Amino acid sequence: MEQLLAALFQLFEPTHLAFLFAGTLLGLIVGILPGMGGTSGLALVLPFVFTMEPSHALAMMIGVLAPTTTSDTFPAVLMGVPGTAGSQATVMDGFPLSKKGMAARALSAAFSASLLGGIFGAFILSISIYYAIPIIMAFGFGEQFLLVVLALLMVGALTGDNLFKGIASCFLGLIIGSIGTAPITGDPRYTFNTLYLLEGVPLVVVGLGLFAIPEIVGLLDAKGSIAKSLNTKKGWFTGLKDVVKNWFLVLRCSTLGCLVGALPGLGGTVVDWIAYSHLKQTTKDTSQFGKGDIRGVIAPESANNAKEGGALIPTLIFGIPGSGNKVLLLGGFVLIGIEPGLDMVTTNLDLTYLMIWSLAIANILGAGICMGFSSQISKFTLVPYYILAPVMVCLIFFATFNINRDWYDFIGLLSFGILGITFKNFGWSRPALLIGFFLSSKVELLSYQTQAVYGLSFLSRPVSIILIILCLATIVLLTKQKFDNNYRSDLIKGKLTQIYYIVILLCLPLSMIWFTSSLDYRANLFPISLSVIALSLLVFILIIKIADLKNLPFLNNTLMKFARSNIFEISGNFNNQLFYYLSFIGFLLMNFIFGFPIAAALFINMFILFHNRKAYVSSICISAVLMLILWSLSSLLTLQFPNGLIGLLIDLPWWLGGQMN
């Protein structure tokens, strides 16, 4: 109790509040930009937070995470595009409300439901922390191993459009995560004798590549469905009244969100749908759903913000991410030297409470700003994407370089970028890949540790049995809800590309087996087993795909229908997205030649002018403002710009990409 209050006082120190506030603002902006969510936002700030004091960094990171699911309602309601994966269900009724001229009512209901959900989540989190010690002590290696494996299975099964593609994504992530030094023997695996891969691919590179880049090209491709008119003036009070009237719904959905969030690995992508279907099942009159029922906004919004608190429970006490963006948060913990586990509820309890308070206050701040400045903020949705995109690409490059000041990170970024673009387009699961990647070393180590301490007897321990039952029940329950929709194979074009794509994916496990087969069995057992499983999954998917293409009759029984659903998937124009992706490679080359500052200014101007020749005033202003921000950031945090070939030949000042010092 004492620490709870001490943490509150610490948070209210001006510097802490300032970092929390800065984080919250950033989180709000990230949430508004369609597609960008907490994962991309956190990946962007991670390279910078670790120069800060741990408590400041924590306040900032929580600040970024907390309000994204609040502000993502703006695009969901105004444009009918989910701002993050967590507000897909909000679109169902939010957008129709907005079309009826009730945008303000929908927004205010969403913000207040979101606020209540967020606070509820923080409250549950602080209670669970209180009881965490016996739980941690009850979870030995065996239970932790099961928890991780089951988490991976759930993520794979539930975040993909197709069960098998989701699980395969998970295994591909695990394989990529096993690149680097083998933990048991110290043998380098799949490193091609480079120092870069010895510690594996940096998490931030994977996060930015998988999440930020595909969203940027996706929205460039969609050309941003810009809201035409913004009627957000009237109806604020009605929205508030709606929430008060439906207080029990808010409470139920918050509880639901918290529970689903606390299931390791889940969250983000499913929780809003679960809340929405709960609402449908418990309501008598469902006639207005999908046409603008305010309850359809309240339910998912309270759930998707409550999940943040719930998702922090497994994150803090086991180091197992409660949702995709918690992977990045855990990455941030590592950077600032915090190890999840027992310490979080004993010696580092003050930091834990600091996070809980930050979460609560960031929620209040976020919802407050959203309500108070809604008409200003909603104008963000009017900014054309061809202006935002190059700025975001520059920020991503700047962040990437400052992870390790290593040019190889750009290659990593762009490789994971194209992986993310194809995953998104062809209906594979990016969260599953990310979580698999992150948990890979944990799975490997826990399997050895469990084997050394228990052998196979861990499976018969009571907690293990409960875990297995819980996991299977969740998967069965949730897959039924998720895969009921009808898959129309005949609507999809370019199926051959997706079949070739599998062949490319097959190269990863095959080459992993090839390169690690000569190592000691304790170094290659894990990657080779993963690769064999991944190979069988991929081949199975390939067979189903070919069968679907040829429309073979054996696909028509119930079980096969399930395997077939969403086996092909296409969103947007893939070639178009590839074109934008190539322009990023062009930007990398410009960086290599001119150094970052000149390349960034050139890129922004070229990109904007390519889309709109008359916008030169804004393009010049935007590039100037961005560079001013980056310059002040650099001198504040002693960061460095990538210096190109020119910087090697001529002695440039640091702000043009020369050496600092």
* Piece of the chain touching another protein by CB under 8 A; list 149-157, 483-491, 517-525, 563-571: 517-525
Site for another protein in 620-639 (CB under 8 A): 638
According to CB under 8 A, which one of 135, 342, 570, 620 is a site residue for another protein? 342
* Piece of the chain touching another protein by CB under 8 A; list 177-185, 211-219, 295-303, 469-477: 177-185
SS (H, E, C) 248-303: HHHHHHHHHHHHHHHCCCCCHHHHHHHHHHHHHHHCCCCCCCCCCCCHHHHHHHHH
Our finding on whether 444 is near another protein (CB under 8 A) is yes
DSSP for 128-161, written as a single string? HHHTHHHHHHH--HHHHHHHHHHHHHHHHHHHSS
Site for another protein in 359-418 (CB under 8 A): 404-406
**DSSP three-state, residue 181:** strand
Number of H helices, E strands in the chain: 32, 2
Q: Can you name the residues that pair with 180 across neighbouring β-strands?
A: 189
Rounded to the nearest 5°, which phi and psi values hold at 126?
A: -70, -30
According to CB under 8 A, which one of 91, 172, 294, 336 is a site residue for another protein? 336
Number of residues that bind another protein (CB under 8 A): 42
According to CB under 8 A, which one of 452, 559, 617, 650 is a site residue for another protein? 452
The amino acid at residue 453 is V
Our finding on whether 31 is near another protein (CB under 8 A) is no
Does the CA dihedral 15-20-25-27 come out positive or negative?
A: positive
* Half-sphere CA count of 413, side-chain side, radius 13 A: 30
Cβ atoms 189, 174 nearer than 8 A: no
| CA 146/CA 149 separation, integer angstroms | 5
Residues ≥6 apart with Cβ < 8 Å to 133: 342, 345, 346
- The residue (of 291 and 522) whose beta carbon lies closer to another protein is 522
- The residue (of 108 and 400) whose beta carbon lies closer to another protein is 400
Least Å distance between CB 306 and another protein? 29
Per-residue binder mask for another protein (CB under 8 A), 193-232, x = binder: --x--xx---------------------------------
- The residue (of 235 and 647) whose beta carbon lies closer to another protein is 647
Closest by CA to 381, choosing from 506, 231, 212, is: 231
Does the CA dihedral 320-322-327-333 come out positive or negative?
A: negative
According to CB under 8 A, which one of 111, 141, 594, 603 is a site residue for another protein? 141
According to CB under 8 A, which one of 8, 334, 468, 602 is a site residue for another protein? 334
Our finding on whether 134 is near another protein (CB under 8 A) is no
* Piece of the chain touching another protein by CB under 8 A; list 38-46, 236-244, 340-348, 510-518: 340-348
Least Å distance between CB 47 and another protein? 11
Cβ atoms 74, 32 nearer than 8 A: yes
Tallying the residues shown for the chain, one arrives at 661
Per-residue binder mask for another protein (CB under 8 A), 637-656, x = binder: -x------------------
Cβ atoms 528, 453 nearer than 8 A: no
Least Å distance between CB 312 and another protein? 19
According to CB under 8 A, which one of 21, 50, 123, 515 is a site residue for another protein? 50
- The residue (of 52 and 546) whose beta carbon lies closer to another protein is 52
Site for another protein in 518-537 (CB under 8 A): 520, 522-523
| CA 11/CA 20 separation, integer angstroms | 9
Q: Both tokens of residue 368?
A: 């407050």
* Piece of the chain touching another protein by CB under 8 A; list 12-20, 134-142, 205-213, 594-602: 134-142
Least Å distance between CB 182 and another protein? 9
Cβ atoms 410, 196 nearer than 8 A: no
Our finding on whether 149 is near another protein (CB under 8 A) is no
- The residue (of 256 and 399) whose beta carbon lies closer to another protein is 399
| CA 509/CA 215 separation, integer angstroms | 27
Least Å distance between CB 309 and another protein? 24
The amino acid at residue 80 is G
According to CB under 8 A, which one of 3, 449, 479, 565 is a site residue for another protein? 449
Q: Both tokens of residue 563?
A: 């395997």
Q: Which residues bind another protein (CB under 8 A)?
A: 50-51, 54, 136-137, 140-141, 181, 183-187, 195, 198-199, 334-339, 341-343, 346-347, 404-406, 441, 444-445, 448-449, 452-453, 520, 522-523, 638, 661
